[in-house]
Amino acid sequence: MPVNRRVFIAAGAGASLGLFVLGPSGRREAVAGPVIGGTLKPSRIDKFVLPLAIPAAMPRSGPNAYRIAAREHMQQILPPPFRPTRVWSYGPEGDPARFVSPACTIEATRGTPVEVTWINDLVGPDRRFRPHLLPVDPTLHWANPGGRRDTRPTFDKTPGPYTGPVPLVPHVHGMAEVEDWSDGYPEAWVLPDAADLPEGFAPVGTWYDFFWTKAGGGDWGPGRMTFRYPNSQRPSTLWFHDHTLGITRLNVYAGLAGFWLIRSDDPADHPTVAGSGAAAVLPADTHDIPLAIQDRAFNTDGSLYYPDSRKLFDDYAGPYIPASAVPPIWVPEFFGDCMVVNGRTWPYCTVEARRYRLRILNACNSRVLVLRFADPAVEVWQIGSEGGYLVAPVKLRDVVLAPAERADLVVDFSRVAPGARVVLRNRGPDAPYKGDAEDDEARADPRSTGQVMQFRVVRPTSPDPTTPPARLVMPAIAPLAAGRERALALVEAMTPSGKDEVPHEVALATFDPARGRPDGVTVTHWGDPISENPAPGDTETWAFHNFTADAHPMHVHDVLFQVVDRQELDEKNGRPKGRARPPRPEETGWKDTVIAPPGQVTRVRMRFAKAGRFVWHCHMVEHEDNEMMRPFRVGPEQDGEPQDHGAPR
How far, in Å, CA of 242 to CA of 367, rounded? 18
How far, in Å, CA of 421 to CA of 404, rounded? 28
* Candidate from 35-44, 173-182, 320-329, 558-567 with smallest mean pLDDT: 35-44
Is pTM, for the whole model, over 0.85?
A: yes
- How would residue 282 be classed by pLDDT, with cut points 50, 70 and 90? very high
Residue 30 pLDDT: 43
pLDDT at residue 500 is higher than 90: no
pLDDT at residue 421 is higher than 80: yes
Residue 501 pLDDT: 86
Residue 497 pLDDT: 82
Sheet of 85-92: strands edge to edge? 85-92, 65-75, 114-120, 224-229
Enumerate the CATH 2.60.40.420 domain ranges in the chain, comma separated.
Answer: 42-270, 311-473, 484-634
Please state the φ and ψ torsions of residue 516, each to the nearest 5 degrees: 70, -170
User: What SS3 state is found at 445?
Assistant: coil
Residue 13 pLDDT: 28
How far, in Å, CA of 138 to CA of 468, rounded? 53
Of 217 and 499, the one with more pLDDT? 217
Contact predicate 90/75, CB 8 Å = no
Report the CATH architecture of 484-634: Sandwich (2.60)
Q: Give 3-state DSSP helix, strand, coil % of the chain, rounded to 5.
A: 5, 40, 55
pLDDT digits (tens, 9 = 90+) for 611-637: 999 999 999 999 999 999 999 999 999
Residue 442 pLDDT: 78
Contact predicate 66/58, CB 8 Å = yes
- How would residue 25 be classed by pLDDT, with cut points 50, 70 and 90? very low
pLDDT at residue 647 is higher than 90: no
DSSP labels, 80-94: TTSPPEEEEEEEETT
pLDDT at residue 247 is higher than 80: yes
Residue 641 amino acid letter: E
C-beta atoms surrounding 256 within 10 Å: 26
Residue 534 pLDDT: 98
pLDDT at residue 7 is higher than 80: no
C-beta atoms surrounding 527 within 10 Å: 15
Half-sphere exposure in the Cβ direction for 406 (13 Å, CA): 32
Query: Domain spanning 311-473: which CATH class is it, in words?
Result: mainly beta
Q: Tell me what percent of the residues of the chain surpass a pLDDT of 90.
A: 89
Please state the φ and ψ torsions of residue 267, each to the nearest 5 degrees: -55, -30
pLDDT digits (tens, 9 = 90+) for 291-313: 999 999 999 999 999 999 999 88
Burial code (b: 16+ CB inside 10 Å, e: under 16) for 614-645 equals bbbbbbbbbbbbbbbbbbbbbbeeeeeebeeb
- How would residue 23 be classed by pLDDT, with cut points 50, 70 and 90? very low
Averaged pLDDT, 261-279: 97
What lies within 8 Å, CB to CB, of 594 at 6+ separation is 544, 553, 554, 561, 563, 587, 602, 604
How many residues make up the chain in this entry? 649
Residue 263 pLDDT: 98
Report the CATH architecture of 42-270: Sandwich (2.60)
Q: How far is CA 199 from CA 139, 145, 164, 221, in A?
A: 21, 11, 11, 18
pLDDT digits (tens, 9 = 90+) for 477-498: 999 999 999 999 999 998 888 7
Contact predicate 91/67, CB 8 Å = no
Give the chain's mean pLDDT: 93
pLDDT digits (tens, 9 = 90+) for 441-467: 678 999 999 999 999 999 999 999 999
Residue 646 pLDDT: 46
